[in-house]
Chain A
Amino acid sequence: MTPARLTPLSQHTIGPFFPASFFREGDNDLTRVSADARPTALGERIVIGGRLSKLNGEPVVNGIIELWQADSAGRFRHPEDPAWREADPDFLGWGRAWTDADGRYSFHTIIPGGYAEGNQRRAPHANVLIMGAGLMRPVHTTLFFPEFAQANAIDPVLTLLPPVLRPRLVAFDEGRTNGVRAFRFDIRLRGNREEETPFFEV
Chain B
Amino acid sequence: MSESRLPRRFDPWPAGVQPQVPIEGYPSTWDFTPAQSLFPRPATRTELTGPLDLWRKLPCGESNLAVVSPGRIALGQLIHIEGRILDEDGRPMCGAVVELWQANAAGRYLHALDQRAAPLDPDFIGNGRVRTDDEGRYAFFTIKPGAYPVPVEDTWWRPPHVHFSVLGSSTLSRLVTQMYFPGDPLNDWDRILNSVPDPAARARLIARHLPPAQVGDGWLGFRHDIVLRGRNATPETP
Contacts and interface: CB of A to CB of B under 8 A. Distances in A.
Contacts of A129: 171, 174
B8 to A, nearest CB: 7
Contacts of B56: 33-34, 37
Given A13-B176, A138-B176, A5 B235 contact: no
Interface stretch (B35-43, B74-82, B181-189): B35-43
Contacts of B236: 79
B69 interface: no
A20 interface: yes
Interface string A8-43: 111111111111111000010000111101000000
B45 A16 contact: no
Nearest to A197: B34
A72 to B, nearest CB: 15
Contact of B32 (A6, A133, A197, A201): A133
Main secondary structure of the interface of A (DSSP, over half): loop
B46 A69 contact: yes
B73 interface: no
Nearest to A5: B88
Contact of B227 (A6, A92, A199): A6
A192 B36 CA distance: 7
Interface stretch (B125-133, B135-143, B212-220): B125-133
A138 B126 contact: no
Interface string B43-72: 111111111111011110000000000000
Give the interface centre of A22, A80, A142, A157 by most chain B CB atoms within 10 Å: A80
B46 A70 contact: yes
Given A10-B196, A13-B192, A199 B34 contact: yes
Interface in A114-136: 115, 117, 122, 125, 127, 129, 131-136
A164 interface: no
Given A78-B52, A132-B28, 11 more contacts: A13-B28, A15-B163, A17-B113, A19-B110, A32-B57, A55-B30, A70-B46, A78-B170, A94-B50, A140-B171, A189-B32
Interface of A: 3-22, 27, 32-35, 37, 54-55, 58, 60, 62, 66, 68-70, 76-81, 92-94, 115, 117, 122, 125, 127, 129, 131-140, 142, 156-157, 160-161, 189-193, 196-202
8 contacts: A6-B87, A22-B129, A27-B58, A94-B51, A133-B28, A133-B32, A134-B32, A161-B39
